[in-house]
Amino acid sequence: MAMAAPEALREETTTPAPEPYTGPAERHPRQPLVPLALSPGAVELTGPVFGAADVSPLDADLTRQHPGEPIGERITVSGRVVDGRGRPVRGQLVEVWQANAAGRYTHRLDRHPAPLDPNFTGTGRCLTDDEGRYRFTTIRPGAYPVFPDANVWRPPHVHFSLFGTAFTQRLVTQMYFPGDPLLAHDGVWHAVTDPAARRRLVAAYDPGLNDAVASTLGYRWDIVLDGPAAVRSGEGRH
């Protein structure tokens, strides 16, 4: 039986990149943006301020927040939060939220028919240490359909929120996993138009973060808050 050449197979399976995701029109600003005039060196402390007493070590382990064991592949996600000069950002509140292993969020508006996991809520938080490091133990999230009629799926991802020292400094973005074939078809990922910035949204597999005792595979994802190497904001809902 004749076999198609590899080039022909690539042509048959290649699809154009999706349109960058812009979100529904009602979520866009309806009024012009208002610039905030701050004096040089001023720090706006209108946002929340968190200390060690507000965050417990259990908050960073999403697999131990319920009596039973969650279903799915256990992973460790860790990295450093630094500024544009590579200096560690200490005491930074880092929050995460994600779908479970079946691709379902614990949220009343999530209508995906995948099962909920009674032992996995999918939310966590921690404070960075003196070196700017954070660390979470969790379950690798599953993919899920955004527009079932069009067969459009989101790749597995973890949402991140960092508050900074002021509300206006908050960064909300997403971390993706390496080697995921769904990335090429994801409109949210393509909403970051700079290819180099897009690559910075993908974590790296790090064997040094593996934990055989806890049965977790390790992924490293460093976050740069400003400058040309900054991690870009992403759409926070999906």
User: Which of 144, 176, 185, 200 is flagged as catalytic?
Assistant: 144
In angstroms, rounded to a whole number, what is the distance separating the alpha carbons of residues 170 and 30?
A: 21
Q: How far apart are CA 106 and CA 125, in angstroms?
A: 16
Which residue of the set 105, 134, 176, 219 is catalytic? 105
Q: Please identify which of the residues 80, 125, 159, 200 carries the catalytic annotation.
A: 159
Look up tokens 């001023």; give the residue: 42
66 carries an active-site annotation:
no
144 noted as active-site residue:
yes
Catalytic position from the list 104, 125, 140, 154:
154
CB of 28 closer than 8 Å to CB of 21: no
Q: In 3-state terms, what secondary structure has residue 27?
A: helix
- Closest residue by Cα to residue 175 from 162, 199, 159, 192: 159
Give the C-alpha separation, 75 to 197, whole Å: 24
The residue annotated as part of the active site, out of 157, 176, 185, 200, is 157
**Joined tokens for residue 238:** 């999906």
Alpha-carbon distance of 60 to 91, in angstroms, equals: 14
Q: Please name the amino acid found at residue 24.
A: P
Is there a catalytic annotation at residue 105?
Answer: yes
Q: Which residues are catalytic?
A: 105, 144, 154, 157, 159
